[in-house]
């Protein structure tokens, strides 16, 4: 039987346009599958909109800050509405790229060396950069869709790049540049669907390259079978390290020196016609509606995993004399 599904789309940030495209694609697929669908446009008053929507489950078609970072997930927990994708903590950790890097390192997962720069410290970027060298990659510390990303080749361009990245969320992440193939791995539930190599027309897979064309996709990646399996295993380990669930997409770099590094985990990857997860799923034999249904089937809440504890007997109060 079909469910009453609310598709949350739009949002507050710079990825609103992509979210709306994702949302409409998901709505069309859900209706094809026989579900009753309500569009829920995220923004001020979202709590009231959700209460009025009369839905059984929320399909999150949001991206970036305020949609992918645990805040909407926390609201849905309070309203006791199951939702697609990762829970509150995993969403927050994945969105905070510097914090995610620390967890990757704690799990012995290779990731490019990097550091965080706050907006108020942007003018001190060169001082903070120390011996990290050039080129380096500068991007918002919390964000997606490669918005605000730039590759910096010399000291003179570092401060402007950091200031630009800080426009999106107030903090930048500066990472060592790793030359190699960019590979993204799709995950559904707790299993790898497959992987895709992204070959972009210019240095850095930025917003323009991602959504305005010119990028080539290779499914499977142009790697040996052994290395591809290793890359996919590394991606799944990164996904698990952050406590993700439901589905996701992990971005990695396979360097020319045979070293593979994790860049980030996307807990709400896009479902637009050019999005990577649907491409990977299609090659694995899942068409778009089947992928959407697979994501919906895994909708849940953090609270649903908490078992009711047995009653605890009161401890007698003893007063020292």
249 is catalytic: yes
Catalytic residue among 16, 65, 249, 301: 249
Quote the CA–CA distance of 99 and 116 in Å, as a whole number: 9
24 is catalytic: no
Quote the CA–CA distance of 181 and 186 in Å, as a whole number: 16
255 is catalytic: no
130 is catalytic: no
Quote the CA–CA distance of 116 and 308 in Å, as a whole number: 40
Torsional sign, CA 77, 193, 206, 226 = positive
Catalytic residue among 251, 260, 275, 301: 251
Tokens of 243: 């406590």
Quote the CA–CA distance of 160 and 66 in Å, as a whole number: 26
**Backbone φ/ψ region at 163: left (φ over 0), alpha (ψ -120 to 50), beta:** alpha
259 is catalytic: no
Catalytic residue among 16, 266, 275, 301: 266
15 is catalytic: yes
Catalytic residue among 175, 182, 206, 264: 264
Catalytic residue among 6, 171, 270, 275: 270
The residue among 230, 246, 142, 140 whose CA lies nearest residue 185 is 230
Quote the CA–CA distance of 205 and 264 in Å, as a whole number: 13
Other C-beta atoms lying within 10 Å of the C-beta of residue 259: 11
The residue among 130, 106, 108 whose CA lies nearest residue 117 is 130
Catalytic residue among 14, 15, 69, 77: 15
150 is catalytic: no
Catalytic residue among 211, 217, 243, 294: 211
264 is catalytic: yes
Peptide bond into 135 cis (omega under 30): yes
Catalytic positions: 15, 145, 211, 249, 251, 264, 266, 270
């Amino acid at each position: 039987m079909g469910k009453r599904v609310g598709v949350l789309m739009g949002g507050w940030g710079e990825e609103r346009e992509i979210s709306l495209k994702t949302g409409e694609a998901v709505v069309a697929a859900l209706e094809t599958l026989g579900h009753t669908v309500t569009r829920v446009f995220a923004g001020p008053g979202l709590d009231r909109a959700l209460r009025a929507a009369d839905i059984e489950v929320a399909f999150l078609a949001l991206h970036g800050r305020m949609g992918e970072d645990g805040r909407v997930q926390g609201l849905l927990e309070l309203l006791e509405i199951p939702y697609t994708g990762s829970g509150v903590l995993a969403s927050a950790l994945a969105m905070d790229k510097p914090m995610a890097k620390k967890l990757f390192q704690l799990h012995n997962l290779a990731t490019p060396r990097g550091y965080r720069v706050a907006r108020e410290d942007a003018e001190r970027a060169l001082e903070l950069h120390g011996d990290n060298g050039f080129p380096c990659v500068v991007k918002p510390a919390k964000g997606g869709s490669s918005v605000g990303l730039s590759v910096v080749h010399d000291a003179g361009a570092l401060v402007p790049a950091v200031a630009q990245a800080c426009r999106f969320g107030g903090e930048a992440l500066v990472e060592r540049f790793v030359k190699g193939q960019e590979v993204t791995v799709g995950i559904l539930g707790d299993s790898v669907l497959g992987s895709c190599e992204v070959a972009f027309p210019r240095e850095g897979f930025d917003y323009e390259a991602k959504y305005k064309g010119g990028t080539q996709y290779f499914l499977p990646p142009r790697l040996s079978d052994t290395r591809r399996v290793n890359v996919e295993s590394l991606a799944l380990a990164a996904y698990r390290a952050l406590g993700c669930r439901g589905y996701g997409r992990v971005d990695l770099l396979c360097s020319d020196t045979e070293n593979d590094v994790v860049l980030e985990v996307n807990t709400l990857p896009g479902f637009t016609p050019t999005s990577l997860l649907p491409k990977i799923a299609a090659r694995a034999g899942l068409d778009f509606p089947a992928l959407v249904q697979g994501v919906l089937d895994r909708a849940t809440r953090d609270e649903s995993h908490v078992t009711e504890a047995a009653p605890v007997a009161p401890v007698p109060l003893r007063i020292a004399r």
